Structure 1
């Protein structure tokens, strides 16, 4: 006997539970609200992979409405730079105290010219791939998405962060490009097919 796990909102009231076969007989629409055990809230039918297969639905996306401007991006980057600098400074200070390497201070400072940008590059890729935001972005309630407003792929995140080098080396023209389009994409966002959005207008 097929498991009945789907609760369907019908005429404004939750009905069920139903099995997949029973849902098929009810002629469920893509925007019908459905819930399965363990879910915190209802979702539309097109959001369930098994229902898309059953009914031939196409998954629908709600296009992002609010985009992070240059000011929010700049502030988020400043927060992230401060975080990276703080972590590195603490680590280096601890190393100098523990191993009495005062003579290595100049070498450490020079190595930071390479180490800091590389560390930030790796940090951003890891953070944005896993959660779509860095600490700075999280504090400002903004995140990186693909053009549909969904989680971007690792490839997109990598291209985006690699592209930031080009946006910087072109005298920041890549960043200023965000003023020229409605979605406020920097050039590296255009190259990667990404957006930086905010959940609401702030």
Structure 2
């Protein structure tokens, strides 16, 4: 049952108005494409995307095809940010392990053995995060981009793992699979084409 105490901001003629309680929205001209925001939401959504507003106004949920796609440089920077934070975590763990590892040769081996684990951690983290509520890793979230299916919907865990596994094909040989983003309007890399996924920009008001 909808919470009548939740306050909503609505966009009318390009300007935010409110906040309004759910009952107060009945007096406003709300159509399915009206942008709405409530506490806990990172960005505005269209009214038809919120279950309580569909119930209140009798809207049907519409599927809007994504129109704004993340550029190659945005995706690259997001990946750099992800690897920076993951590497930072591994550096801290390796330094802590030095308390127990005294030999110089063993420390060097520990450093080199940790490097492949960063890639594995990125695969696991990316797969889970991109199927999660925010639909993106910390790098993508900072740049306000997210991963979706071809209709702009959240990925299943299976599809997210498949997408990240397909990055191996994009990387070999010489990262040529990433160049595919320059050859199609939706800026999909090869692994996106294989998994039928998109990386889109979040809507801005």
Equivalent position SS for 1:68: coil
Q: Which runs of 4+ in 1 moved over 2 A?
A: 5-10, 30-33, 38-49, 97-103
Residue 73 in structure 1 maps to residue 80 in structure 2: no
Structure 2 Cα separation of the partners of residues 168 and 32 of structure 1: 40
CA shift digits 1:23-53 (9 cap, x unpaired): xxxxxxx9498x9xx999996468649x79x
**Which secondary structure state, in structure 1, belongs to the residue aligned with residue 151 of structure 2?**
coil
In structure 2, the partner of 1:96 is 98
In structure 2, do the counterparts of structure 1 residues 165 and 42 end up closer, same or farther at CA, with 3 Å as the change threshold?
Answer: closer
The residue number in structure 2 matching 1:128 is 130
TM-score, with structure 1 as normaliser: 0.72
User: Which of 141, 145, 162 does residue 142 from structure 1 map onto?
Assistant: 145
Deviation at 1:119, TM superposition (A): 1.4
Offset at 1:110? 2.8
The aligned length equals 180
Deviation at 1:198, TM superposition (A): 0.8
Give ranges in structure 1 of 5+ residues lacking alignment: 16-29
2:168 alignment counterpart: 165
Flag the 1:105–1:47 CA change in 2: closer, same or farther, 3 A.
same
Q: CA RMSD in A?
A: 3.6
Residue 59 (structure 1) shift = 3.3
Which TM-score applies when normalising by structure 2? 0.71
Correspondence for 1:119 among 118, 121, 133: 121
Structure 2 stretches of 5 or more lacking a match? Answer: 5-21
Please say if residues 32 and 44 of structure 1, whose CA atoms lie closer than 8 Å, have aligned partners that are also in contact.
Answer: yes
Looking at structure 2, the residues matched to 76 and 61 of structure 1 have their Cα atoms a distance apart, in angstroms, of: 27
CA drift at 1:161: 0.4
Distance 1:185 1:82 in 2: 24
Mapped to 2, the partners of 1:163 and 1:90 lie a distance apart of 30
Give the conservation status (yes or no) of the 8 Å contact 2:150–2:198. yes
- Note if contact 2:129-2:137 (Cα within 8 Å) is conserved in structure 1: yes
